[in-house]
Amino acid sequence: MTPTRRRWQPRIVASVVVAVCLLFLRCVSGRATVTAPDGASIAACGQWFAIGTEVVSWRDEGGYDASRREKRFTKEDPPDGTLRYSPLRGNLPDALRARAAANGLTLADLQQVVHQLVVHYDTTGTSRQCFKVLQDVRNLSVHFLLDVDGTIYQTLDLRAKAHHATIANDFSIGIEIAHPGAWRQPMNADMARWYDQDAQGWFMKTPAWMQEPGIRTPGFVARPDRPGIIAGEVQGSVYHQIDFTSAQYAALAKLCAGLSRVLPRIRLQVPREGNGAVTNHVLPEAELRAFEGIVGHFHVQKNKQDPGPAFQWDRLLHDARALLSQ
């Protein structure tokens, strides 16, 4: 070895070490990783992004896979073969369409195309029951499920088009939050099947027909983040609802911050009126298509009320923004 090569060798080794360290720091700071998910990461275009809260992916044990062309909880012979999602998003810009059809969307493509998170409540009470209805009954899909204990389930890579919110499907990510729903009359027979009270206040109970709720946290009691029955107007009518759990708000804030990092057009904002109040009705189609941020299902469809009057939009945005700034 010549003297010149001997002088450069330590520099080369040092450069390699620095590069490896930077890659490691990138992986643990919420950026993309190429290794297997750690139980706290979401997948977009085959890359994994840490978000700091529990995520069960479709390929994990106990996960829910919306790409399966068969029922999950019902035996079929043969399987139905029905596709519950679309591998390619529609209405792509001309420059992307041919390339994406051949090779799929890249992360850069997805960042250009996707600009909304649509928030639903599932009306089924638990994520297991929600996936059963979507996969086995309705042949629909959604990217994320959020259970009462704060566990997030990802059912599809974000590059896929899930079938959850009609005209918003092409440009959105969808999440179904486990919750029984909202009603015109407080504590009617249907609401009473889902809720009861004890010395600590309201809690959600699963109906007797739901033999296996599938909640991952043993002994978890789904208590609302705020006490009481909350009334509010959605689509011009008053609905009554018990709040979501604190665990759900905490996990959702981390997911929203993570999605905003990965897909920057999903801004941490919601539709508002001129007086600053969150819009509580469907948006005109052109306004919906142009909006970049987080919307409720009721912003997309006039016949929907979810996530309901109890949903704390400002609390979610405050917490997600704080996480994003860290």
Average pLDDT, the chain: 91
Rounded-to-integer distance, Cα 77 and Cα 93, Å? 40
Cβ neighbourhood burial of 255 (10 Å; 0-12, 13-18, 19+): buried
Strand partners, 41: 50
Q: Which of 66-70, 90-94, 222-226 has the least mean pLDDT?
A: 90-94
Cβ neighbourhood burial of 107 (10 Å; 0-12, 13-18, 19+): middle
Confidence (pLDDT) at 316: 98
Q: Omega into 78 within 30° of 0, i.e. cis?
A: yes
pLDDT 10s digits, 143-152 = 999 999 999 9
Concatenated DSSP letters of 3-16: HHHHHHHHHHHHHH
| pLDDT for residue 120 is more than 90 | yes
Rounded-to-integer distance, Cα 132 and Cα 64, Å? 9
Confidence (pLDDT) at 52: 97
- Extended strands (E) in the chain: 32-33, 41-44, 47-50, 55-57, 85-86, 116-121, 144-146, 152-154, 161-162, 172-177, 195-198, 201-204, 229-234, 237-242, 293-296
Q: Which amino acid is at 275?
A: N
What number is the average pLDDT over the span 98-115? Answer: 93
Q: Is pLDDT larger for residue 72 or for residue 104?
A: 72
The domains located in the chain, with CATH, are 55-184+230-324 (3.40.80.10)
Would strands 32-33 and 293-296 be described as parallel, antiparallel, or unpaired?
A: unpaired
What number is the average pLDDT over the span 98-102? Answer: 88
What number is the average pLDDT over the span 273-292? Answer: 98
Helix ranges (H only) for the chain are 3-28, 94-103, 107-113, 127-131, 189-194, 246-262, 285-290, 297-300, 313-324
Span between the terminal Cα atoms of the chain, in Å? 48
Confidence (pLDDT) at 35: 53
pLDDT 10s digits, 2-56 = 444 444 444 444 443 334 343 333 333 344 555 556 899 999 999 999 999 999 9
Sign, CA dihedral 299-64-250-232, equals positive
Would strands 229-234 and 32-33 be described as parallel, antiparallel, or unpaired?
A: unpaired
The three-state secondary structure class of 304 is coil
Provide, rounded to the nearest whole percent, the portion of the chain with pLDDT above 70: 89
